[in-house]
Amino acid sequence: MIRVREVIVVEGRYDKNALSQIVDAMIVETSGFGVFHDADKRNMIRSLALKNGIIILTDSDGAGLLIRNHLKSFIPSECIKNAYIPEISGKERRKNSPSKEGLLGVEGMSPQVLEDCLRRAGATIVDEEHAFHTESFTKTDLFFMGLSGGPESGRKRKMLQSRLGIPTNLSSNSLLEYLNRTVSRSELKKILDELE
């Protein structure tokens, strides 16, 4: 079990249950879209973010992205770390059928995948030296790497996101933040060369 300083925000109780088996941290549920209509919960999450920082860990589907973007709309960006689960087809054991997009959610991820996601997001692991990699990629870099502004950019970006094990529907800004926290220039160049 790892101790994480930041508060981890997830969609629901099954996500919280899966995460609490590997992480000693405060875990807050948004109650799915409930956070959109619950001012008290938004205020609590904002207050926790300002005090401890938060890690947003939502599903990789469209609903998870909407919830993540809603949280980002009322919390200062410097208080947020984004953890992304990979897009894996399947269904959770407790469900009769797969989700609308056919992807596993946070609750369906293995403990090792969840821990890796938190570490890549730059979680502050208590009692462990942990400094996330800080590279400074810019939007201009994305352009020159062929990841934005070109006729094949969208396809290339999706291939990269898939290879990195993050959702393929991330915005360019979210991809940029992820790259800046997790990948060096030489690593990214190697991955892009392999995708050619």
What parts of the chain have a pLDDT lower than 70?
Answer: 128-135
As a whole number of angstroms, the distance between CA 124 and CA 93 comes to 31
As a whole number of angstroms, the distance between CA 81 and CA 144 comes to 26
Given a contact cutoff of 8 angstroms between Cβ atoms, the answer to whether 87 and 99 are in contact is no
The pLDDT assigned to 74 comes to 95
Given a contact cutoff of 8 angstroms between Cβ atoms, the answer to whether 88 and 44 are in contact is no
Strand partners, 82: 56
Strand partners, 125: 4
Q: Which two tokens stand for residue 182?
A: 């997790």
3-state helix, strand, coil in the chain (%, to 5): 50, 15, 40
As a whole number of angstroms, the distance between CA 71 and CA 36 comes to 9
116: part of which helix (H) or strand (E)? helix 111-120
The pLDDT assigned to 130 comes to 44
Given a contact cutoff of 8 angstroms between Cβ atoms, the answer to whether 58 and 114 are in contact is no
Give 31-99 as a DSSP string.
TGGGGGT-HHHHHHHHHHHHHH-EEEEE-SSHHHHHHHHHHHHHS-GGGEEEEE----B---TT-SS--
The pLDDT assigned to 71 comes to 97
Cβ neighbours of residue 89 closer than 8 Å, sequence gap 6 or more: 98, 102, 103, 104
Q: Which domains does the chain have, with CATH numbers?
A: 2-120 (3.40.1360.10), 139-195 (no CATH)
Instruction: Provide the b/e sequence for 161-190 (b: ≥16 CB within 10 Å).
Output: beebbbbeebeeebbbbbbbbbbeeeebee
Which pTM was predicted? 0.74
